[in-house]
Chain A
C-alpha cells in the first residue's frame, strides 16, 4: 500500500510539474501575491494591528499568502485535476487496475502536501529575505504542523467539492468563487481588524480564517510559548473530517456528466 502510494505520487508530481497552468496558479501566483501585497501595502513603517499588538504590514502578509499557497496547492489544484481526470475517464481506467483506491488517493494527497510544503518554503524564504518576516525557532514546529494540517484538510475538502461538481469546466470558477471572498474576509488579503464585526463572524465559520490565524500566530512576535493555535487547528481539522465524510459518501471514479 505504501509502496504503491509512493509510486503513484512520483508520477503525479511529475505530471503536476509539467502542467503550466498548475505551475502558474500554484507556484507563481502566490509569490506574485506576496511580493505585490507586501510591497504595495507594507514598507514605510506601515504596521497592522493583530492579536497582542502591531506588526509590520509586510510581515503580516507572509502567513496570509502562505495560507493562500496551501489552499491553491491542495484545494484548488486538486479539485481541478480530479474533476478533469474523472470526466475524461482517466480515474475510471485506474479503477480497472489492481491499485487500491486508498493508494490512488494517498498518492494524490501526498502530491498536494509536498507542493504545499514547497510553496510554503519559498514564501517563507522570500518573507525572510525581503520583508524581514522571521519565524522564531520556538514557533517553527507549530508552523510546520499547521502547514501539514492545513494541506491535509484542504485536500479532504478538495475531494468533497470534486465529488459535488459534475462538470470539469466549472471546477475553476467554483473553487475560485468559494475562495476569493474567503481570502478577503479571513485575514489573507486584509487584516480582520479593519472588517465589520459581522464579516469577521461569518469568516470564523470557515477554515480559511483559522488556517491564516494559526499561521499568523507562528509569525506573531507577541505570541508566547510554542505558538500552537490549538482552537484554530481544531476548527481546520474538523472541516477536514467533514470533507472526508462527504467524499466517502459521494466521491465517484466514473464520469458523471453524460
Chain B
C-alpha cells in the first residue's frame, strides 16, 4: 500500500483536535471520536465505529488512544496509526510535561503545598469512585464476586503483586468458562444491560 502522506497529516490533525478534550479518561472521548469520524469526516460507518470501540476496549492500553490507532490503521496503514497516535498523545503529553515542570518548580511553595494537601483526599475520592463504577459492571454473579474478593484479599494480606492479579483474573475467567461448559452450565460472560441503556459500551468504567 502506497502511503498517503496527505491523509496521514489529516488524520494527525483530526486527533490532535480531539486529544485535549480527553480529560478524565477514555470513555468520555468515545462520543467525540464517533461524532468526528462518522458524522463529520465520513471516515467510518456507524457499525465500524462500534466495532472499533469494542476492539479498543479488549486490547491493553487506553481506549481513546487505541480507538485512534485502530481508525488510523484502517485509513492509512502503519503510518496512519502512528499519525493518529501522535496526534492524540502530543497535546496531552505537553500538558502533563508542563504541569510536572511547574509542580517541581513550585514544590516548596506553601500555597502549592496547601493545595496538594487539599487535592489528596480528592484523589482518594476519584479512585473510590472509579472502584464503585467498575465494581458495578464487573461483579454480577457468584464467580465474579469470588474472583474480586479473593484477589483483593491476596493484595491486602499476602501482598500479591498487582501484575499477578491481572494475570490471575484473565486465567480465572478462562478456567471458569471451560469448567462451566464441561459441567453443562449456562455460560453468561457479560452483565445483562438494561435495554434503554444500550449506548455502545459507554457504560463501562473508564
- Does A pair with B? no
Residues on A close to B: CB < 8 A? none
